[in-house]
Structure formats: structure tokens, C-alpha cells
Structure 1
Amino acid sequence: MAATFSLFSPSELSFAQVPLAHSAATSNPLDDPPLRLDGRTPLQYRDIVLETNVSHAQGALGSARVSLDDAAGSGGGGTTEVYAGVRGEIESMEAGSAGGRVVVSLECAPTALPALKPDLPQHLASLLTTLFSPSALPPSLLSQLVVLPGSKSWTLYLDVLVLSASGGNASDAALLAARAALASTRLPPTRSIGFDDAGEATEGKDGMTVDEGFSGLVKGGKSGVKAVDFELVDGGERGVRLAGWEDLPVGLTLNLINQLPHLDATVLEEAASSSQLLAGFTPSGAVCGLVQLGEGEVEFARVMPLVSEAGKYAQELLRTVNAKLRDA
């Protein structure tokens, strides 16, 4: 944390803490709570710019860009910018797997590192991996990645790049960009091909489905089938969007000062915070990932109320983001 704290003087940190350490429970109800340096309340987000389909480099199947501006200059007046892209490869399915998988990688550009807490990249990468693991992703979504049941499936490589973090809150930007890239992913359509005793190809569209072809191969179910393969369907340049993308997990960061939370912190506010809770939730509200950062302690009695509060904010964020992604 020393690298982040050295960016600001003690007086700057103290000035940023005042409105964020304010508790409405101990103040006069007639008094307006103090506002943050940029005019926001503690639990208010800035305007988030979210764009999808921003790149087709390296055959990207989905991509997104998220940016946050520190317009008031309460931390240097910089911008946080994160890109995420999804590449796909058809690979052999793992033993016992019922669907495909998502592999997440996080990279922070040198231009972003000065504004990041040293322990953030490691823990953020861990949370991203947890949120997009088979235990957190909808089974129906993973089953759509199957090309040949029990044999071949799509592996989606979700790459996240933090290009700049000088606007603060790179963690939420990365979580949103990763979710948006996966939500906007479109898979090239495939078609199964079976081979009969005469060596003639029999395509799925001519009566042999993928299930029938594979059943005939391993169970002797379809007479005359010797093997099964697949091919990409012509005319599918646009691809097929994953059904159930709305059920992808969502994550956010609670920044704590005096055990009180605030959202969407600038770099200055992050430096002034004693600790951070990075939390991930399923659309039903179940916790699917939780990481604490920083040197400050979180009182045991406060942990569950804070997680419950984070879940409420996550549901609001989920509704807003899903509305934005419907036409992606």
C-alpha cells in the first residue's frame, strides 16, 4: 500500500476522509450529509462508460471497454480504462465435464501500476477466476459451449487488460468489462458430421443430430455410424449469442473508512480507505466470491452486514448493466 499512499500528502488524505467517515446514525437528521470532493454521496457511482464489440482483433468473439473519469480532479483528474476480450478455441472436454469452460487472465499495463495498490492485481485476478468458474456460472450457459457431447467443447479465453487506473476503481471496471465481454460473446455455429459404412459424410442438418452421431459412436445406437466430427457453418459470421447471459455473476468493491462503506472510489479515496471488500454475487444474490484488501481490519460483527449491503448494491448494478447489454 505504500506506493499508493505516497501519491498524496496526509492533509489530502484527511480531507478526503471527512465525508466518507460521516455516519448518518450519529448526526442531526436535519443536517445534510457532507458530500465527497466530486459532489457525490458515499454510495453513488460516477457515470460509467460501457461499450461492447470494441475489437475483433485475434478473432475476438466478444469484447468490451469500461472507462471512469475523475472529472473533479479528486485524485489527479485521470481516467480508468479497462478492456476485455473473449477468444474461443474448440478443445477436448475434460473428464467428467458436462460443458465448456472459461479461462480468465488479467494483465495490468505499466501505465496503470502507479495508481494501483500492490496487492490488487493478484486478488482481482483470483476473484475474476472465481466468478467465471463452473461453480459460479449458470450450467445452462456452459452446456451451450458443447460442440460434440463428451468429446469437444468451446474453451473461452477471457482476457482483461487494465490500461489505466488513474481514475480509481479499477477493480469494478475490470469486473464490469469482463462480464460485458462474455455477455456479448457470439459463437460461430457448428454442424456435426457423421460417416457411414460407405465413407459418405452425413451432416447433422440431414437428420443426424450431434447427440445421435455420438450415441452411435460409443453406444452403438445409430446403425452404420463409424465416426463423428464437426464443421463451422457458412454464413455464420455474426455468430450466436449465448442464451442466459443475464445470469452471469456481478462484482463490486466496498471501500471502508471507519467501518463505513463507500462505492466507486477515486484514487485519492482508495488511498484514504483503510480496507476494501471485493465481492461477487450471482443474480439470485448468493455470494460467490469475497476478497479483503488493505491493512485495516474489518470488525467481525460488521462482515455479514457489509456483505448483505454489497449484495443489495450488486442487484442494482446488475439491473442497470443488463439493460445496457440487451442490445449488445
Structure 2
Amino acid sequence: MSSSISTSKAEISYIQAGLLSDPPLRADGRGLHDFRAINLETGVAPLANGSAHLSIGKNPHGGGGGTEILAAAKLEVEDVDGRGEGVNGGRIVCAVSCSPSAYPHLSSSALDDLQQDMSTLLHQTLSHPSLHPPNLSIIPNKKSWLLNLDCVVLADAGNTYDALFMAARAALWDCKVPRTRAVEYKAPSNAPGAKVLESGEMDVDETAGDSAANQSGFDTRSIARAVDFELPDYWDEGEVLGGRDRWPVCVTMNAVAPAPASTSKTPWVHYLDAILQEEAATPLRLLLVFSFPPNSIPNLQAMRVLGSGELETAQIRDSVSSGEKFAQKMWDALNAKLKEEDLRRGQKARDRFARR
């Protein structure tokens, strides 16, 4: 499914000629491997556990003209009893929706297909076991966290997939998992009406004597078997999502070949961060999703080819090798922005806490 705007053959030929010229010529004067300005803000959704608003190429003066993504991560409790979808260790569900104003040329059915395609790619990549956070479990075999990651494409000015993964990574980086404390209910053994069930738990007749009512059955000091949990009240809203350094980024390798591209041996020219008109003139786009775990080798988490062009195995290998280098630069730049946001928001939270 292509989200490109309608472009004439003359415009396509003109754009391709500029990309293949020496030196390359692009409408906004960028080099082949230059990105537009990226703006990022985290903590934009107060009711979410983590959120981010990211834009690429947005006009700093007029406030429009760029690709905009809003991402929010929300945690909810699931029972792990085999009757629902809850699993031990928790799970992640990703969904992408697109604002109709971002794609006014698409019909409702085409927009649904585009949303489904984006959702599938994001969900299949981020829910992979190699990226699973270790702190989504609450009570083993009883309760766990369900992490819902929802992304909204507010505006599309090209390079949506790269922006989508950057916004998702920022929201997950910002996500805080509430601290939990296991509790069990232990009825006093001498309580009137107390009896031991077959499961080993204590059952108490609530109508029996006032003496039992004066003794709390909740104990968090010595847990033999947790049956529920509570949320301690902390000003910092919890702990960061485990393994947040592993969340990936996507780099889109846009490829054009000198005309006529009659054989796959024709050399392809790759460029990054395409605008809508350039996407319409690009016969092939290679989406590469990389993660960079600390003290480990980079991982290619996902790869997808969009368009009608074809690449040989050797060309794909070269594209992946080049894409890894571009993804590493993107990952480093995004990490720097995320750490700046952590410092900014951390200082605001400390100031707010000090004023209480």
C-alpha cells in the first residue's frame, strides 16, 4: 500500500534525474544521506505511562509541513489464568492509526489497509521475544502487565516508517512501570469461622465475631504465597521499562536506478528521508529495522521491501551494510535527544516535588 501523492511522469523523471546527477540535487537542497530537522518531546500525554511527540521536517516558524507522530504507551493489568490472552511475563500490543487529514487522497478502505500494514510491521517487530522487557511480570502465574503502544500519524510529509519507529522508541524509553508490592490474605488461625480450603487458602466467615474484624489479614512483610498486589505511591511514577536500550530504529533506504533500469545489475543509488514527491518517484524502498544492544553486535530485527523494483542478493547485502551505519547514526542522535528530555523532565519533576 502506497501513501504517495499523485505525481506526473514528467515530475518523476525530473526528481529521478536530480537524485542521479553529480552532485545530487534535491528540492530542499539536502544531500542524499541528510535528514530533515527532527523535533522530539516526551511526556506529552499525562494519562499514559510513557509518551512522545516526534516531527520530521516541521516548519519551525509556521508549525506545519512535516511528518508528525504521536506515540503513547499505557500499562494495564491482565490475569494469567489461561482463560484470556494474558501470559506470564507480560506482553506488548502495538497499533497504528492514521488521521484522515494526513491522507485526504485515500479512501476509508485504503486508509484502513495502510493502518493495518503499519500496525503489523510495528507489532511484529516490537513484540519479538528478543526485545521483551523483563519487568512486565507482577505475580507469576497470576497477574502481569499488558503494554499497549498506540501511535497516531498526525501528518505525513514522507518517511513515515522511520518517524514511526523513532516515536515508538521514544515513548517506550519514557515508559515507567509502576512499582508493585505483593500481598497475601492470611486469616488468623484462631479466627471464628476460619477454615482451610482444599487449595490451602484460608476462608473466613465475615459474620463471625468482632475479634477477627479488628485484626488485618493483609501482610506484606512475610509473603508465602502472593494472591494480589498493591501500588506504593512514589513521586517518580515507577521504574523505567527494562531493556530500553534495545528498542530499535528504522532506516528507509530509498533506491533509484539510471533509466532504463532494464536489468537488476544496474547500480542503484540510495538516499534517506524522502519527502512525498521523492517517494512517488522511487521504485523501491528497503525498510531496515536495527537494534543496538549494549555491549553486543547490532541486530537486524526486521526488513521489508516496498515498491516494484528488484534487488539482487549482493545488492541487498550492500544495502543492509550501509543501512546499519545510517541506523547507528540515527540511534546515537535519538539517544542524545532522549537523554536531554530525561534531564529536562527530571528537573521539572524534582522542582514540583520540592514545592509540595
**TM-score normalized by the length of structure 2:** 0.74
Matches of residues 54-69 of structure 1 in structure 2 within 5 Å? Answer: 54-56=44-46, 59-69=47-57
Rounded Cα–Cα distance in structure 2 between residues aligned with 1:176 and 1:136: 18
Aligned to 1:310: 323
Residue 25 (structure 1) aligns with? none
Contact 2:134–2:243 (Cα < 8 Å) also in 1: no
Deviation, structure 1 residue 242: 2.0
| Whole-Å separation in 2 of the counterparts to 1:94 and 1:311 | 41
The RMSD of aligned alpha carbons is 2.5
> How many Å separate the matches in 2 of 1:310 and 1:115?
31
TM-score for both structures, normalised by structure 1: 0.80
Q: Using a 3 Å threshold, how does the CA distance of structure 1 residues 255 and 128 change in structure 2: closer, same or farther?
A: same
Give the gaps of 5 or more residues in structure 1: 23-31, 72-76, 218-226
Q: Which residue of 1 aligns with 2:273?
A: 264
Q: Could you tell me which residue of structure 2 aligns to residue 124 of structure 1?
A: 118
Q: Which residue of 2 aligns with 1:111?
A: 101
Q: 1:134 to 1:279 in 2, by over 3 A?
A: same
- Which residue of structure 1 aligns with residue 166 of structure 2? 176
Percent of pairs identical after alignment? Answer: 39
Kindly provide the amino acid, as one letter, of the partner of residue 148 in structure 1: I
Amino acid of the structure 2 residue aligned with 1:168: G
- Structure 2 distance, partners of 1:150, 1:66, is 37
- Encode CA deviations 1:200-241: one digit per residue, 9 max, x unaligned: 2111xx3x3xxxx4xx43xxxxxxxxx521011123463322
2: CA distance, partners of 1:303 / 1:51 = 35
Q: Is the 8 A contact 2:162 2:249 kept in 1?
A: no
Tell me, which stretches of 5 or more residues in structure 2 are unaligned? 189-215, 258-267, 343-356
Number of the residue aligned with 2:73: 86
Q: Distance in 2 between matches of 1:274 and 1:113?
A: 20
Offset, 1:34: 2.4
The aligned counterpart of 1:250 is 249
Choose 291-300 or 42-51, whichever is displaced more: 291-300
The Cα offsets for residues 289-322 of structure 1, whole Å up to 9 and x where unpaired, read as: 1111112222333112111211111111111111
| Matching residue within 137, 140, 143 for 1:146 | 137
Q: Evaluate the alpha carbon distance shift between residue 148 and residue 292 of structure 1 in structure 2; reply closer, same or farther with a 3 A threshold.
A: same
* Preserved contact between residue 70 and residue 168 of structure 1 (Cα < 8 Å): no
Q: Is 2:296 aligned against 1:291?
A: no
Structure exhibiting the larger radius of gyration computed from Cα positions: 2
TM-aligned CA distance change 1:98 to 1:304, over 3 Å: farther
Contact conserved, 2:41 with 2:52, CA < 8 A, in 1? Answer: yes
Q: How does 1:11-90 map to 2 (within 5 A)?
A: 11-22=10-21, 33-56=23-46, 59-69=47-57, 78-90=65-77
8 Å CA contact 2:88, 2:144 repeated in 1: no
Cα distance change on mapping 1:297 and 1:163 into 2, 3 Å: same
AA of the residue aligned to 1:189: R
Aligned amino acid, residue 288 of structure 1 = Q
SS of equivalent to 1:4 = coil
Kindly indicate whether the alpha-carbon contact (under 8 Å) linking 1:186 and 1:240 is maintained by their aligned counterparts in 2: yes
- Give the alignment partner of residue 150 of structure 2, picking from 127, 144, 159: 159
- Give, in angstroms, the shift of residue 115 of structure 1: 7.1
The one-letter code of the counterpart of 2:28 is: D
Shift of 1:156: 0.7
Q: Within 1, Cα distance between the matches of 2:145 and 2:230?
A: 13
Q: Which residue is 1:200 aligned to?
A: 217
- 3-state SS in 2 of match to 1:105: strand
